Each structure stands twice: as C-alpha cells, then as structure tokens.
Amino acid sequence: MKIPIYQIDAFADKVFSGNPAAVVPLQKWLPDKTMQNIALENNLSETAFFIPAENGFHIRWFTPATEVNLCGHATLASAFVLFHHLNYQEKEIRFQSKSGLLKVTKDGELIVLDFPTSEVKGVEFQPNIEKAFGIKPQKCFKGREDLMFVFRNQGEIQNLKPDFSFLKTLEMRGIIATAPSGEFDFVSRFFAPREGIDEDPVTGSAHTMLIPYWAEKLGKTKLVAKQISKRGGVLYCKYAENRVEIGGNAQTYMTGEISIINDLCSTA
C-alpha cells in the first residue's frame, strides 16, 4: 500500500524556517502502532494524520515518541495541504480532534487556526527552578498541559540555557518561556523533552496559553508574536475570550509517498 506524505514548513514565509510537520492524508485510520512508527521514522516534532469525517475531517498528531492531544503547527500544515494540494474548495475546514472541534480558515495568504483557550493559573515556583534555565523567571503559570515561565525581556529568552534533564522532572507536557518584546508584542520558546522534543521551533498550541496571558497583560486583543527558536516563526494572534485565533503562513518543502507493508497494517 502506498500513501501520500507532505512535509510542510508551518508558520514560515520561506522554506527552512518555521516548524516542519509531516502530513499524511488517509481514507481510514492505520493501526496506532503503524502511525507511531511513521512519526518515528519522519523524526519531526509532529506528524499529522487525518481522515474524512462528517462535515470535515478527523485529525490526530504524533511526535516521534507519543500521540498528543493538540498540535497547532501540524494542524496549520494539514489545512495547507488541503487548500493547496488536495483542491479543498470550502472556505472553512472543520477538524474533529481529542481537543474538540478545531476550525481553520484562509485570510488572504494566512491560514488561521481557531482553538480553545487554555487556563492560565498562577502557581508557586518549584525548588531550584533556576536550574531549569540558568536564571530565575519572574512568574510561573500552569495551563491545561504546559507550564509557562515569564521573564523580563527578549534578551533573557534568547540567552536561556535549558537543563533538559531538569525540565523532564516537571510533570507537564511542555515548558513555555516568554517575555515582552520591542519588535513584537511578545516572544517565546517552547521545550518538551518529556515528549521527545528538546525545543520545538514554533508551537501553535502553546499560544492557547500565551495569547490570553499577553492580551490581558497588554490590554489588547490582537497581537503579533514570534517564537525565537533557531528557525523562528511569526504568529498573528487574536483573543476572543474562550477561543484564540492563530494565523501564519506555510510553505511546501517536500511531497512524496510512503510504502506500507500490508503485514504492518494488519496489527494494532
């Protein structure tokens, strides 16, 4: 059996920037073990699989190590594949997922994600938190799946020296580091060593927590953010109470085909 695969740079104005994701359109689900092995073989932070569903599609996301409940950049990449490669003609794409209904639309050149917000709850620092980054953050917040640490300025974010072995002891999906910025409304970095990703280039799902925090902090509902990883990516954000909109560009890096041995598809 041969199935198509696309590698898309999400939140990118040009290839070799943003966050690469693999997208695998299917007519029906492969066994979980097979999808996990494909994600491991791709060795990207996320591989998205989707199948047709009533009034849209059903989407799932896998890191090289595990399935996750929500992934922004791979959802944007999947929508890009539908719009630009699979001739999807509707203005809105509806993805059913483990995080509920996710809507994606086009706004000019941008693809815009409509995601549920995460809670942003202030919590106490864990002991020896300076060891996590080489510097103590100003504040700490807990979201649905992530911890978020707020620092003074963009320079501190750029110069963080994460201790990944220590970050693995923090029992959350990922760790967000963020600060205000002169050029953008805010900047961030995202670390998820427990999920097999030391640093993610651009993380849409982290902005379900970042956008509500900075919208309230800055007193505005429309914000422009940048994740300042090595590859980097710009996100165009809007806060709407219990939902956030996250917009970005995407670029096709590669299209191809996966050969699946039938025996692998017959066992879960």
pLDDT at 262: 60
Mean pLDDT of successive 10-residue stretches along the chain, which has 268 residues: 96 94 97 96 96 96 92 96 96 95 93 94 90 94 95 97 93 94 97 90 95 97 97 95 94 95 50
Radius of gyration of the chain (CA): 18
Query: Whole-angstrom Cα distance, residue 31 to residue 63?
Result: 16
3-state DSSP call for residue 262?
helix
Contact 94, 55 (CB under 8 A): yes
Q: Output the CATH code of domain 2-116+249-265.
A: 3.10.310.10
Extract the tokens encoding 254: 């590669």
DSSP code of residue 228: -
Contact 179, 150 (CB under 8 A): yes
Residue of 46, 145, 195, 199 with catalytic role:
46
Domain with CATH 3.10.310.10 in the chain: 2-116+249-265, 121-241
CA of residue 198 relative to chain centroid, distance: 14
Query: Whole-angstrom Cα distance, residue 187 to residue 231?
Result: 14
pLDDT at 177: 98
47, exposed or middle or buried, with CB in 10 Å at 0-12, 13-18, 19+?
Answer: buried
Told to judge if 156 belongs to the known catalytic residues of this protein, a careful annotator would answer: no
Q: Kind and range of the H or E element at 77?
A: helix 72-84
CA atoms within 13 A on the CB side of 138: 9
Look at strands 19-25 and 47-53 and give their pairing: parallel
Which amino acid makes up residue 243?
R
CA 58 to each of CA 62, 159, 266, 268: distance values in angstroms, whole numbers, following the listed order = 14, 39, 21, 19
Query: Whole-angstrom Cα distance, residue 136 to residue 125?
Result: 9
Exposed e or buried b per residue across 109-135, where buried means at least 16 C-beta atoms within 10 angstroms of its C-beta? eebbbbbebbebeeeeeeeebeebbee
Which amino acid makes up residue 110?
L
Query: Whole-angstrom Cα distance, residue 5 to residue 71?
Result: 18
pLDDT at 197: 87
Q: What pTM, to 2 d.p., does this model score?
A: 0.88
pLDDT at 78: 98
Query: Whole-angstrom Cα distance, residue 104 to residue 115?
Result: 9
| Fold topology of 121-241 | Diaminopimelate Epimerase; Chain A, domain 1 (3.10.310)
Query: Whole-angstrom Cα distance, residue 175 to residue 143?
Result: 10
